[in-house]
Chains A and B, each alone.
Chain A
Amino acid sequence: MRSHTIRILVLVALTLAAFQVVFQPVRMDGWRPTLQPPQPRLRLGLDLQGGTRIVLEAERRPGVEVTPDKVDAAMRVIENRIDALGVAEPVLQRQGQDRIIVEFPGLQDPQRARELIGRTALLEFVDTDQQSLPKGAEWLPDNRRVRLPSGQVVNLPKKVVVTGADLRDARAEFDQQSLQWFVRFRFGGEGARRFEDHTARSVGEYLTIVLDNRVLSSPVIRARIPGEGVIEGNFTAEEARDLAILLRGGALPVPVRPVEERTVGPTLGRDSIDRSLRAGWIAVAAVVLFVSLYYRMPGVLACVSLSLYALLLLAVFSALGATLTLPGIAGVILSVGIAVDGNVIIFEKMKEELRAGKTLRAAIAAGWRRGIVTILDSNVTTLIGAAVLLWLGTGPIRGFAVTLVLGVLASLFTAVVATRWLVELCADMGLGDRLAQMARLPARPEVAA
């Protein structure tokens, strides 16, 4: 009987610990524990809470080498830009050699963010002598010709005076007189000196300001400029602010291009949570009903350990900080099937032993001894499949694989250990006859008597 006490304590402790991890009803205020309304602490994927996921790929151009270092540096630049935007909890991650995954949970308007993060933002001050260029004119990749907004192409080599790399600061400001937004910038170090030298030498000529090969403005130099100036260009407030963010954050060390983008609106996300929760409850109810009706009392015990299984799975999830996605929920539901399977296999073997005339205790022992072999073999093969997915897959496939792996492991524990403890406890509590009903034997003489 003493072993039962320990077992029950272990199960109860596990249940409470898992409940605490998932729902956190007790919060530690320094050393004083306080109660709070229990709420599930789970990280939901973008498909459930709504948001945008963008995959950027470093572009391989002749003369630009793509290295993981450069991609990491690009990631930091993008991170700065996003911080400046004030988006809540963005997630950035490098994938493979040359990709960056950016995730914005719950972002309403991804358009602006997308335009901001994907820009190379290479700012150049170009000496164009006597020529002024209109906004939107673009240098062709050979840097020798310019395509004007009218479509006309003119020969004009790009003579770069200084780049944005030496910028110290950039701010959007509003001019009360002209009622125009502009960007004020300040150079530092070497750049400030070169800027000053050039403007001193070239008074009366045009200095064209170019962002990512596109002309922003092309003002005439009126006097020597000591490393500070403004960019005008009929900006809206938002355009001016975004340009300032880009310039402050610096240029990307390597150009990137979006190769994948997925946005889930908050409406659909909310919808998916509601629906999958409802589907989950119905699934659990159907399974519980079936197993309890078919296997009687052991079936009910199996359902008890099944709920422990669900709780454990959620606990492992929040402890690991894993993200729950829609395919992940499907993985959970599939692993419920696997968890039930473990119990079904053992119960069927128990029934056989009972029908072969064994006592209940012997049948329990034999059922589990034989069942474990089968369960191990079948679960290991499932784990192999899930491991391959985990290794190869990204995004939704990975989410499915993670829940499947965790689900299989949790189900091994509950089917092999927890259900057995419960069944043995009931057997010792004098409920043996109720347990043995699962075999639907004709009443044994000593029971009938």
Chain B
Amino acid sequence: MKVWDLMGRRRWLYLATGLVVVACVASMAIQPALGRPVLNWGVDFTGGTLITLRFQDRSVTTGAVRAALQPLGLGEAVIQKVQETGDVSIRTRHLEPEERRRLEEHLRQRVGPFTVLSVDDVGPKIGRELRNVAVLGVVLGLALQVVYVSLRFQSVRFAIAADVALLHDLLVVLGVFALTRATVDSSFVAVLLTVVGYSINDTIVVFDRIRENLQLRTREPFPHLVNRSLLEALVRSINTGLTTLLAIGSVYLFGGPTIRDFAFGLAVAVLTGGWSSIGLAAPLLVDMTAWAERRAARAAAHPAAQLARAAAGGRRPRP
């Protein structure tokens, strides 16, 4: 059987990962030039009011709704129609209860009868808090997991490799959300934390295999050992990723519009989390180890130089 030498082709893995990263950074960087914010922030983050209505007449156009809102000074509201249900969502600045009642009355008179499906009214302060929670949560989760991985694997190198892969995954999720303009609301924080959880989880299963093989103390060169471990863990990585995606996919397809962006985020998290263990974490581990070995070898090759340095450090010439 031909052995697939992934670690020998590290350059290609780095290149593929690099291309994805560049694409994600570009998709974020290009947004301001298109005159919109990097991410499609929802009211949860920006503060504001989001009302979703189901008009009795499902063929109501966004134009008609906008025309009705104009006299209220809400002409700049973002009005969208959900294609599959015909529901209309109106997003405005944060409205006082009195203003909202006027808006509803106005729409009822000018456009027609409707039922209110949902209202999200978020003050600006709450949005700021959520942003802080998101950042703090990700940073804290990251830090704690690094500590755990360093302890369990007795090696900072494993932790660094897992962490770089994780940062990559966060970047990919941000990039994909920037590109697709999926709404970034409070469930996005859960998506980010799922990325953190799943990505580390997946990397650990691969690293665990490497650790297991290292303990067998074969004389195999490290890159080969990593390669073998990767391939051994590959079936598991694919099967687990696939079952999780099957579950998330059915939520995406059948879970309805309210949960779709969330399921989409989770799917991206699983895909990138699965890829980065193989395409980034493992090659990094190999290169970091090779680098550390080279340094150790250099130090060992020049015992004289080392002695001299030690001597110089020990007896500093007096001025």
Would you call the interface of chain A mostly helix, strand, loop, or mixed? helix
Q: Is B250 an interface residue (CB 8 A)?
A: yes
Inter-chain CA distance A281–B103, complex, in Å, is 40
Which stretch (A167-175, A331-339, A427-435) binds chain B? Answer: A331-339
Which residues of the partner chain B approach A118 to less than 8 Å between Cβ atoms?
Answer: 97
Give the size of the chain A interface in residues (CB under 8 angstroms). Answer: 69
Q: From residue B117, how far is it (CB to closest CB) to chain A in Å?
A: 4
Chain B interface residues toward A at CB < 8 A: 52, 54, 97, 101, 115-123, 125-126, 133, 136-137, 140-141, 144-145, 148-149, 152, 186-187, 189-190, 193-194, 196-198, 200-202, 204-205, 208-209, 212, 232-233, 235-236, 239-240, 242-244, 246-251, 253-256, 258-259, 262-263, 266, 270
Which stretch (A20-28, A32-40, A386-394) binds chain B? Answer: A386-394
Q: What 4 A-B pairs have minimum CB-CB distances, sorted nearest first?
A: A337-B244, A275-B256, A385-B197, A259-B123
Taking each of B200, B204, B250, which has the highest tally of chain A beta carbons within 10 Å of its own beta carbon?
B250
Which positions 341-392 of chain A face chain B at CB distance < 8 Å?
A: 341, 344-345, 348, 352, 370, 373-374, 377-382, 384-386, 388-389, 392
> Are B115 and A283 closer than 8 Å at their CB atoms?
no
Which residues of the partner chain B approach A111 to less than 8 Å between Cβ atoms?
Answer: 97, 101
> Are A393 and B189 closer than 8 Å at their CB atoms?
yes
Chain A interface residues toward B at CB < 8 A: 47, 55, 57, 111, 114-115, 118, 258-265, 267-268, 271-272, 275-276, 278-280, 282-283, 286-287, 290-291, 294, 326-327, 329-330, 333-334, 336-338, 340-341, 344-345, 348, 352, 370, 373-374, 377-382, 384-386, 388-389, 392-397, 400-401, 404
> Are A290 and B242 closer than 8 Å at their CB atoms?
yes
Taking each of A264, A290, A291, A381, which has the highest tally of chain B beta carbons within 10 Å of its own beta carbon?
A381
Partner of A397, one of B120, B189, B233: B189
> Are A267 and B145 closer than 8 Å at their CB atoms?
no
Taking each of B54, B122, B197, which has the highest tally of chain A beta carbons within 10 Å of its own beta carbon?
B197
Decide: A381 near B149, CB < 8 A? Known: A261-B121, A326-B259: yes
Which residues of the partner chain A approach B247 to less than 8 Å between Cβ atoms?
Answer: 283, 286-287, 333-334, 336-337
> Are B250 and A261 closer than 8 Å at their CB atoms?
no
Partner of A114, one of B97, B201, B266: B97
Inter-chain CA distance A414–B189, complex, in Å, is 29
Which residues of the partner chain A approach B251 to less than 8 Å between Cβ atoms?
Answer: 276, 279, 283, 330, 333
> Are B144 and A388 closer than 8 Å at their CB atoms?
yes
> Are B208 and A279 closer than 8 Å at their CB atoms?
no
Decide: A345 near B236, CB < 8 A? Known: A262-B120, A263-B118, A265-B117: yes
Partner of B141, one of A291, A373, A384, A397: A384
Inter-chain CA distance A118–B123, complex, in Å, is 15
Which residues of the partner chain B approach A392 to less than 8 Å between Cβ atoms?
Answer: 133, 136-137, 140
Inter-chain CA distance A146–B145, complex, in Å, is 60
Which residues of the partner chain B approach A378 to less than 8 Å between Cβ atoms?
Answer: 200-202, 204-205, 208
Inter-chain CA distance A261–B121, complex, in Å, is 5
Q: From residue B182, how far is it (CB to closest CB) to chain A in Å?
A: 15
Partner of A384, one of B148, B189, B198, B243: B148
Partner of A337, one of B133, B196, B243, B262: B243
Q: Which residue of A lies closest to B248 (CB)?
A: A333
> Are B208 and A265 closer than 8 Å at their CB atoms?
no
Inter-chain CA distance A336–B244, complex, in Å, is 8
A385-B141, A385-B194, A389-B137 given; name 19 further pairs at CB < 8 Å. A262-B120, A263-B116, A267-B54, A268-B118, A275-B254, A278-B254, A279-B251, A283-B250, A287-B243, A290-B243, A330-B187, A330-B266, A333-B251, A334-B194, A337-B240, A344-B236, A377-B152, A386-B197, A397-B187
Taking each of A341, A373, A404, which has the highest tally of chain B beta carbons within 10 Å of its own beta carbon?
A341
> Are B119 and A279 closer than 8 Å at their CB atoms?
no
Inter-chain CA distance A377–B251, complex, in Å, is 28
